[in-house]
Structure 1
Amino acid sequence: MDPTAISTTELDVASLVLRLALGPMLVLHGLNKVRGGLSGTEKWFASLGLRPGWLHARVAAATEIGAGVFVTLGLLTGLSAMAFVGLMTVAALTDHRGKGYFIFKGGAEYVVLVAMVAVGLAVVGPGRWSLDSALGLDLAGIGWGAVALVGGLAAAAALLATSYRPQNTRSNA
């Protein structure tokens, strides 16, 4: 097949598959944080150095659920992808920091992949079977991929600059 001859239907199917892989995964990730109460998530976030833990547990859960629903529906796709990048960047720089690349060692492999796929989705767009398409919104393309990447990295940097206060675990001996 000539690579320049990809049909619109093939791109629509590919976009739908990406949306159905990313969106529900992030919704469930957010719901997992709230299932049974947020106290465990609050303590975990605080142990990672995200202060105050109670606030970050709620912001992360709400952002995961919201961005996941929006990506699933194909709504505001470029902006929703930006939320994915921001979330995954914070996870990489807190929970996965210093653990290498591979996920089986606690590394950032998974979160890097999720962020990269979200940027790719922002570039190709949500496809014809999306709310963006139904509403006539054009929030896809190279520019929106850049918005997702740069905006997500900037949001993560702002959050970490204002709220990341890890405990000093160095010994004074």
Structure 2
Amino acid sequence: MDLDLGLLLLRVALGPMLFLHGWNKVYGGGGLTGTAGWFEGLGLRPGWLHARLAAGTELTAGVLMSLGLLTGIAATAFVGLMLVATLTDHRGKGYFVFKGGWEYTVLVATVAVGLAATGPGEWSLDHLLGLDLAGLAWAAVAAVGGSVAAAALLGVARRPIAAQQQ
């Protein structure tokens, strides 16, 4: 029971945080238009597509992680999102998040891989539905799969401003 409580606490810390990041991309400040402009500034083109892709992935993965549903798949999405954030918005700013660094994104991705390894616990929809999407293989899927997805996205869509001016 102590383990299940700990896993639930990790999930309800991680899941809603990512969901709210997605919500903010859609409904916060400048909405999707502002998010699209921000992504364009990061070199992710077309910005309108990446704003929707990131927001949708954050909303979905956040809900899945919160509920403990398809946990290994949700963790994969977390890793992909956090790696893209690390390599675009946080790159070159050092480690500490208070300086804009990658401390936060790497921590979030690592905890997600940890949850893929342990599973969401008995207090989850995975457990209720009899889904076994946890263990060493799922931790590898989350880490490697999320990294490959991030690399593919950046390889196809990242066009830094400096490269366009040359």
TM range (shorter): over 0.9
TM-score norm. by structure 2 comes to: 0.96
* 2:74 is the counterpart of 1:80: yes
Flag the 1:171–1:121 CA change in 2: closer, same or farther, 3 A.
same
Larger radius of gyration between Structure 1 and Structure 2:
1
Deviation by residue 1:82-125 (Cα, 9 ceiling, x = unmatched):
00000000000000011111111110000000000000011110
Q: Percent identity?
A: 68
Q: For 2:6 and 2:137, how far apart are their aligned partners in 1?
A: 20
Q: How many residues align?
A: 164
Task: Give secondary structure in 2 for the equivalent of 1:128.
Answer: coil
What residue in structure 2 maps to residue 143 of structure 1? 137
Amino acid of the structure 2 residue aligned with 1:75: L
Q: For 1:61 and 1:170, how far apart are their aligned partners in 2?
A: 26
Residues 43-122 of structure 1 mapped to structure 2, 5 A cutoff: 43-122=37-116
Q: Which runs of 5+ in 2 are unaligned?
A: none
TM-score norm. by structure 1 comes to: 0.92
Across the aligned residues of Structure 1 and Structure 2, the Cα RMSD in angstroms comes to 1.5
Task: Please report how far the alpha carbon of residue 169 of structure 1 lies from its aligned counterpart in structure 2 after TM superposition.
Answer: 7.3
Q: Which runs of 5+ in 1 are unaligned?
A: 1-8
Q: Which has the higher helix share?
A: 2
* 2:12 is the counterpart of 1:20: yes
Q: For 1:171 and 1:144, how far apart are their aligned partners in 2?
A: 42
Moved more, 9-18 or 41-50: 9-18
